[in-house]
Amino acid sequence: MSGHRPSSREKILAAAAELAEAVGPGNLSLDAVAQKAGVSKGGLLYNFPTKAKLMQGLVEEYLKNFEQGLAARASGDNNRPGSSLAAYIELSAEECRYNQPSAAGVLAALTEDPDFLNPVRDFKRQLLDRLKAESPDTAKLMVAFLVIEGLRSMKLFDMDILHEDERNMAISYLLDEAARGST
């Protein structure tokens, strides 16, 4: 037990992401989020004055959590060559295997305001630049990046047509290449 007590903001974001996953982003209501989070509607509005601000918070929370997961995995590999790429592949593959409420939050945010894609674009560009700085083979890195982003997009848009063994084969191949440090 970590001893961390979630703040109202954290509870609201978790509830909003869970509801977006369950009912669809277009059906997300502030009343339902407040009830699910166990806060008053006034408490929700104090943290997120509008639904758009709540959606923006979901996007920011998703990116923050992904970055923290990436950093934790990469540092666990003692900064060996390809460790950031391997961490990115593993974390993204995990996200593709399971329904992640955070992805639903991103979709919910995009239905509110397509400009919420801007921080996602910026994050992905910075991530790609960071991976390129550590990779000796930019072409292989680009292939790995595009495969992972393709898998993530298929999952996000509920268009994943791959069998589990096909997905696992692609991920294993990418991880093998990253481990060689040649990616």
The tens digit of pLDDT for each residue in 134-166 reads 888 899 999 999 999 999 888 877 788 999 999
Q: How many domains does the chain have?
A: 1
- Tell whether 19 is covered by a domain: no
- Domain span at residue 171 reads 51-179
pTM of the model: 0.77
Q: Buried (b) or exposed (e) across 36-53, using 16+ Cβ within 10 A? A: bbebeeebbeebbeebee
- Tell whether 17 is covered by a domain: no
Mind listing the pLDDT tens digit for each residue in 90-132? 998 888 777 554 555 566 666 667 777 888 889 999 999 999 9
Whether residue 21 has pLDDT greater than 70: yes
- Which of 137, 169, 142, 163 minimizes the C-alpha distance to 88? 142
- Tell whether 64 is covered by a domain: yes
